[in-house]
């Protein structure tokens, strides 16, 4: 049974889970949570083991009734993230081959161009109103524009993507309303239909974009099915921007509260960017929890996870474990080494990690160069979610 003071739906835990994580790590082993009906691994070594142990699989369970959840179910059943070998191996091989055409690193100049344009807009907004919002005006539009460009979405359709994604990823939370469920299924149907049409167009009029390459890719005689292709695109959108939006927002809130660390970035924006970005991801991890299911009885540091039971790696807690990180609760933009597991580990290591890192490594120093005197203009407004931790608004002045 978990500590009665720990609940992922408690507003105080959502607001700041790290004191509770400290208490829970003191148990020294995974802890059973009656409310969630699963084991929780808070320590770094335990969470890392959960992510890497092949006896603990990513097993998707279809939602019911199936006629209501049909699209949501197959978008997950055919996604790389929700499968284990051999299907995972096949999907990953095909997706990796499409990515091998240099889709990520070749976006660096485009990302810088987008950052510069967004910062121009931020500067104008600050002149007109006195403030701009780090989330709404910078951290949020950047990765959506980048992933849309990468996939080959028409620019006019970009405003559709973020609402679809937010509705779908809300399903990863444990404290949801019926309306959240309805919005997620509607978003799945609309997004899948949109992708089907875009793929149809790309098959007759191919472009130099990832959707075209995913539709064309073949490995050992295998190709992506239509549903697998749609599921992959949805996953790429979600994985390709959620980590960046929340990693950037969480990190900027930490930096605005610690002027000495912000000044270190200002003094050497490009030199500090690599370690600063990793620390932003470690210190206030964008994705806090990742589930696995035991395919047979598994022992994790003295806790026996029975076949069919779930165990979750608490990534944010693991990344504050003092057994691994010196001064774990201190935000240090020069921290090195920094073996955080914000993007997971093992075969389900986050597909969007390279893109998220590249975007943050460009956007953070460019923000510091443009607005070295940036300060908080009002209280930031936090999202009401635990699993995907982030901020709705971070108003600043320059």
Q: What is the DSSP string of 300-366?
A: ETTEEE-TT-EEEEEHHHHTT-TTTSTTTTS--TT--S----TT--GGG--TTHHHHHHHHHHHHHH
188/185 Cα distance (integer angstroms): 5
The string of pLDDT tens digits covering residues 7-44 is 998 999 999 999 999 999 999 999 999 999 999 999 99
Residues 303, 24: Cα–Cα separation, whole Å: 14
Looking at domain 11-397, its CATH superfamily turns out to be Cytochrome P450 (1.10.630.10)
Q: Which residues have CB under 8 Å from 120's CB, separation 6+?
A: none
DSSP 57: E
pLDDT tens profile 136-188 = 999 999 999 998 888 888 888 988 888 998 899 888 898 888 899 999 999 99
Point out the least confidently predicted range of 70-84, 121-135, 250-264, 324-338.
Answer: 70-84
Report helix, strand and coil shares of the chain as percent, to nearest 5: 55, 10, 35
Encode pLDDT of 263-312 as tens digits. Answer: 999 999 999 999 999 999 999 999 999 999 999 999 999 999 999 999 99
CB 231 within 8 A of CB 193: no
Question: Is residue 200 predicted with pLDDT exceeding 60?
Answer: yes
For the chain, give the mean pLDDT.
92
Neighbours of 173 (CB within 10 A): 18
Sign of torsion over alpha carbons 300, 302, 303, 306: positive
**Quick one: average pLDDT of 350-363?**
90
Q: What percent of the chain has pLDDT over 70?
A: 97
Per-residue pLDDT at 315 exceeds 90? yes
- What is the distance between the alpha carbons of residues 234 and 161, in angstroms, rounded to a whole number? 10
Q: Report cis status (omega within 30 of 0) of the bond before 65.
A: yes
Q: How confident is the model at residue 102 (pLDDT cuts 50, 70, 90)?
A: low
Is-contact 50 41, C-beta < 8 A? yes
Question: What is the band of 4 on the pLDDT scale with cuts at 50, 70, 90?
Answer: low
Give the separation between CA 100 and CA 98, rounded to whole angstroms.
5
**pLDDT band, very low/low/confident/very high, at 101 (cuts 50, 70, 90):** low
pLDDT of the residue at 5:
58
């Amino acid at each position: 049974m978990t500590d009665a003071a720990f609940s992922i739906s408690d507003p105080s835990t959502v607001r700041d889970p790290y004191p509770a994580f400290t208490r829970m790590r003191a148990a020294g082993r995974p802890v059973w949570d009656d409310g969630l009906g699963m084991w929780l691994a808070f320590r770094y070594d335990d969470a890392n083991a959960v992510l890497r142990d092949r006896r603990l699989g990513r097993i998707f369970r279809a939602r019911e009734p199936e006629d209501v959840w049909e699209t949501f179910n197959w978008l997950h059943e055919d996604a790389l993230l929700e499968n284990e070998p051999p299907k995972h191996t096949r999907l990953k091989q095909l997706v990796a081959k499409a990515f091998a055409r240099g889709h990520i690193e070749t976006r660096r100049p485009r990302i810088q161009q987008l950052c510069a344009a967004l910062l121009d807009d931020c500067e104008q907004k600050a002149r007109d109103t006195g403030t701009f919002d780090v989330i709404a005006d910078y951290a949020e539009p950047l990765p959506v524009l980048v992933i849309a460009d990468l996939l080959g979405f028409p620019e006019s359709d970009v405003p559709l993507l973020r609402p679809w994604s937010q509705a779908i990823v809300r399903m990863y939370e444990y404290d949801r309303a019926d309306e959240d469920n309805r919005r997620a299924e509607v978003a799945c149907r609309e997004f899948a239909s949109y992708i089907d049409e875009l793929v149809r167009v790309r098959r007759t009029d191919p472009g130099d974009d990832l959707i075209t390459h995913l539709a064309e890719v073949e490995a050992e005689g295998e190709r992506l099915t239509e549903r697998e292709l749609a599921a992959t695109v949805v996953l790429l959108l979600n994985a390709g921007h959620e980590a960046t939006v929340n990693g950037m927002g969480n990190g900027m809130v930490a930096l605005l509260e610690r002027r000495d660390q912000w000044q270190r970035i200002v003094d050497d924006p490009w030199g500090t960017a690599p370690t600063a970005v990793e620390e932003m991801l470690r210190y206030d991890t964008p994705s806090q929890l990742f589930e696995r299911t035991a395919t047979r009885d598994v022992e994790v540091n003295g806790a026996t996870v029975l076949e069919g039971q779930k165990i979750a790696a608490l990534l944010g807690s693991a990344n504050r474990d003092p057994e691994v990180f010196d001064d774990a609760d201190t935000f240090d933009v020069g921290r090195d080494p920094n073996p955080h597991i914000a993007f997971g580990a093992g075969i389900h290591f986050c597909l969007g990690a390279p893109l998220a890192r590249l975007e943050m490594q460009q956007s953070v120093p460019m923000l510091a160069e443009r607005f070295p005197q940036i300060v908080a203009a009002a209280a930031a407004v936090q999202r009401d979610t635990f699993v995907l931790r982030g901020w709705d608004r971070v108003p600043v002045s320059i």
